[in-house]
């Protein structure tokens, strides 16, 4: 091949390489723009005060469940209960992040993940509002004091109460006119209702198995 041909081939390859780089950059830019547009479109979808209250209140509700579940190892939980607690802690910690992001994206106040309840300012003073099904301070103290099989029993009993409260929050949301039209709120609330109903049945079976031993 002549020197001229080599130069020409090299030139063509260089042009093709630049074109490929530009195409790749354009594709990445287009994908990023599509993702950003989808996020903007999602934020523009209708959401109501009921949606905001639901997502805000469920943050502290989940936070208490995570705190309870995290006691399993230190309080002598059985292996089966400890495995279940690990799943609860992992799933609900991730969902707290989802709820906080949803509120942040809509320029709404983002509550702390406080296991005692949601902090609110009423009549000029800060108060803590407990969500349905959340354990009282006395119940949390009772659970914290228990160990071994007694802790398992109390945990399952209290977590059933806790889950039932979450389901009642979902039902209230779905029964509120205009609420849960936002895609993320609807999907999350629907998942809470389905998953926690299933878990209640599972925990009842675990309690029955304990009683039969």
- Whole-number percent of the chain with pLDDT over 70: 82
pLDDT at 25 over 70: no
Domain topology for 48-212: Ferritin (1.20.1260)
Residue scoring higher pLDDT (32 or 127): 127
Region 171-184 average pLDDT: 96
| pLDDT bracket for residue 31 (50, 70, 90) | confident
Q: Is the pLDDT of residue 10 over 70?
A: no
Minimum mean pLDDT among 16-20, 99-103, 183-187: which range?
16-20
pLDDT of residue 1: 55
Q: What is the 3-state secondary structure (H, E, C) of the chain?
A: CCHHHHHHHHHHHHHHHHHHHHHHHHHHHHHHHHHHHHHHHHHHCCCCHHHHHHHHHHHHHHHHHHHHHHCCCCCCCCHHHHHHHHHHHHHHHHHHHHHHHHHHHCCCCCCCCCCCCEEEEECCEEEEECCCCCCCHHHHHHHHHCCHHHHHHHHHHHHHHHHHHHHHHHHHHHCCCCCCCCHHHHHHHHHHHHHHHHHHHHHHHHHHHHHHC
Q: How confident is the model at residue 26 (pLDDT cuts 50, 70, 90)?
A: low
Q: What tens digit of pLDDT does each residue of 102-140 get?
A: 999 999 999 999 999 998 766 777 788 999 999 999 999
């Amino acid at each position: 091949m002549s020197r001229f041909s080599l130069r020409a081939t090299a030139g063509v390859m260089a042009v093709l390489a630049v074109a490929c780089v530009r195409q790749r950059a354009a594709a990445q830019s287009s994908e990023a723009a599509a993702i950003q547009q989808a996020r903007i479109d999602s934020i523009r979808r209708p959401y109501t005060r009921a949606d905001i209250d639901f997502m805000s209140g469920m943050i502290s509700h989940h936070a208490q469940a995570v705190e309870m579940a995290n006691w399993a190892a230190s309080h002598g939980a059985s292996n089966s209960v400890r495995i279940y607690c690990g799943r609860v802690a992992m799933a609900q910690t991730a969902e707290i992040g989802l709820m906080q992001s949803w509120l942040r994206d809509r320029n709404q106040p983002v509550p702390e993940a406080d296991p005692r309840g949601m902090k609110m300012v009423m009549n000029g003073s800060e108060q803590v509002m407990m969500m349905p099904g959340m354990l009282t301070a006395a119940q949390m103290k009772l659970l914290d004091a228990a160990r071994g099989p007694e802790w398992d029993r109390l945990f399952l009993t209290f977590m059933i109460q806790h889950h039932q409260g979450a389901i009642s929050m979902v039902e209230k949301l779905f029964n509120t006119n205009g609420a849960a039209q936002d895609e993320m709120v609807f999907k999350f609330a629907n998942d809470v209702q389905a998953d926690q109903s299933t878990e209640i049945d599972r925990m009842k079976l675990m309690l029955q198995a304990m009683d039969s031993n």
